[in-house]
Structure 1
Amino acid sequence: MAYIPLRKAVEFLGLHPNTLRKYADEGKIETIRNEAGQRLYNVESYGRKATRSTVVCYCRVSSPKQRDDLARQVQFMRDRYPEAEIIQDIGSGLNFQRKGLQSLLVRLMRGDQLQIVVACRDRLCRFGCELFEFMAQQNGGELMVLDPSVHCPESELTADLLAILHLFSRRMPGLRSYRKAIQEDPNLPKP
């Protein structure tokens, strides 16, 4: 792959533009400058130079009303891991469309060696943490949970069921507004 502009490199690598610029300044990715003085990035060089694992702290809250909690999580992670990259998300633990989670997944699928740090398992995702742990281990990294306390199976099951119920109850008002359109659509089977 040839040298590509920042926008395409960000999309390809799943990194924030500021992170990519920082990596270029630190020599973690090869760059050249075009006639206009803009950096062009060699995304293939990024994977070759990653010899030690990168520490990534993942912080998440469920709703925008919890921004203060998110700020406390981020500060806690920065205090414990000052050199780590911080990824922040706002969204349900059942929502896999979160940008931060997807960028983490892209990096794992690319083979990056990551040490992922989360405060507790459900901060990463409600279901499927084992998949992230497996992928990190396959790349030579790990998933580190700071609060690994195991709750009784009954309370975990109850919390999972409540999370699922909450997710679907939030979707109901949206479905009601489209009920007429759904009923009138000739392409959908009738009950």
Structure 2
Amino acid sequence: MNRLVPISEASKLLGVSVPTLRRWEAEGRLIPEHTSGNHRRYDMLKLKPELFRATEDSRKTLAYARVSSHDQKDDLERQKQVLELYCAQQGWTFELISDLGSGMNYYRKGLKRLLNDILAGNVGRLVITHKDRLLRFGAELVFSICEAKQVEVVIVNKGEDTTFEEDLATDVLEIITVFSARLYGSRSRKNKKLLDGVKKAVEESQA
């Protein structure tokens, strides 16, 4: 609900008449806000904060897990278990969203669902094992959106992500694959040789 409401709506929410509100204002017991057009608006967060506590409590907790590739499914299950255990220990009812895809992919189904829920005001808390589970680059932008929408962000593991090197290598290989498809089309042997060399170096670094 809106924090700032006109006098007619404020009287209904407070259970008093409009003349009573005007009298309280004249007595200095109630100080309304004023719009640029000099219309009275009453701040219900100050007058009846329990209305907003109920709204906040109704917002859900989302737990989000992600891995980059199919061969990391064991790590995905580990993330899910960590999130489930942590949320249960806190006594939170939650929904779990999981993604299988690159940390550089902004169009993952789970991530899009998560962002849509946050922007719609349906989320009160976001729980992740590590900030890089959201995005490899750009997680801070998501955190800024959460802050603007008053979503609490809980990062279970604030230390180094133990799978960073593997994930980063997988992400690099994905980028190479995408650019390979484009550059191969140009029939440039030089481009093909260059990309094959980079891809081989990345794969060897994973061995």
Give the TM-score band, short-chain normalised. 0.5 to 0.7
- Tell me how far apart the structure 2 counterparts of residues 99 and 50 of structure 1 sit (CA, whole Å): 27
CA offset at residue 61 of structure 1? 0.4
Residue 177 of structure 1, CA deviation:
5.3
Task: Give 1:161 deviation, angstroms.
Answer: 7.9
* Counterparts of 1:139 and 1:165, CA distance in 2: 33
Summarize the alignment of residues 55-70 of structure 1 with structure 2, pairs less than 5 Å apart: 55-70=61-76
- Give the TM-score, by structure 2 length: 0.53
- 1:129 maps onto 2:139 in alignment: yes
For the residues of structure 2 that align with 1:126 and 1:107, how far apart are their CA atoms?
21
Whether the aligned pair in 2 keeps the contact of 1:50 and 1:112 (CA below 8 Å) is: no
For residue 51 of structure 1, the aligned residue among 52, 56, 60 is: 56
Q: 2:118 — aligned with what?
A: 108
Code of the residue aligned with 2:102 in structure 1: it is S
Task: Label 1:164 to 1:76 Cα distance change in 2 as closer, same or farther (>3 A).
Answer: closer
In structure 2, relative to structure 1, the CA distance for the partners of 1:79 and 1:160 (3 Å cut) is closer
Task: Give, in whole Å, the separation in 2 of the partners of 1:150 and 1:61.
Answer: 16
Partner of residue 175, structure 1:
182
1:93 paired to 2:94: no
1:72 aligns with 2:82: no
Conserved? CA contact 2:67–2:167, under 8 Å? no
Q: Distance in 2 between matches of 1:86 and 1:165?
A: 28
| Aligned-partner residue type, residue 94 of structure 2 | A
Distance apart, 1:109 and its partner CA:
1.7
**C-alpha displacement of 1:159:** 9.3
Q: Name which one, 1 or 2, has greater alpha-carbon Rg.
A: 2
Equivalent pair of 2:62/2:127 in contact (CA under 8 Å): yes
Report deviation, 1:165. Answer: 3.7
Whether the 8 Å contact between 2:68 and 2:167 is mirrored in structure 1 is no
Q: How many Å apart are 1:101 and its aligned residue?
A: 0.3
State whether residues 112 and 139 of structure 1, in contact with CA within 8 Å, keep that contact through their aligned partners in structure 2. Answer: no
Aligned CA distance change for structure 1 residues 109 and 166 (closer, same or farther; 3 Å): same
Task: Kindly state the Cα deviation for residue 70 of structure 1 after the two structures are TM-superposed.
Answer: 0.8
Counterpart secondary structure, 1:147: coil
Amino acid at match of 2:81: Q
- When the two structures are aligned, how many residues end up with a matched partner? 127
After superposition, give the CA deviation of every residue in 1:31-55 in whole Å (9 maximum; x if it has no partner). xxxxxxxxxxxxxxxxxx8532421
**Structure 1: any 5+ residue segments left out of the alignment?**
1-48, 181-191
**1:9 corresponds to:** none
Normalised by the length of structure 1, the TM-score is: 0.57
Gap regions ≥5 residues in structure 2: 1-53, 188-207
1:63-105 C-alpha deviation (Å, 9 max, x unpaired): 1111121112112211221321100000000001100100111
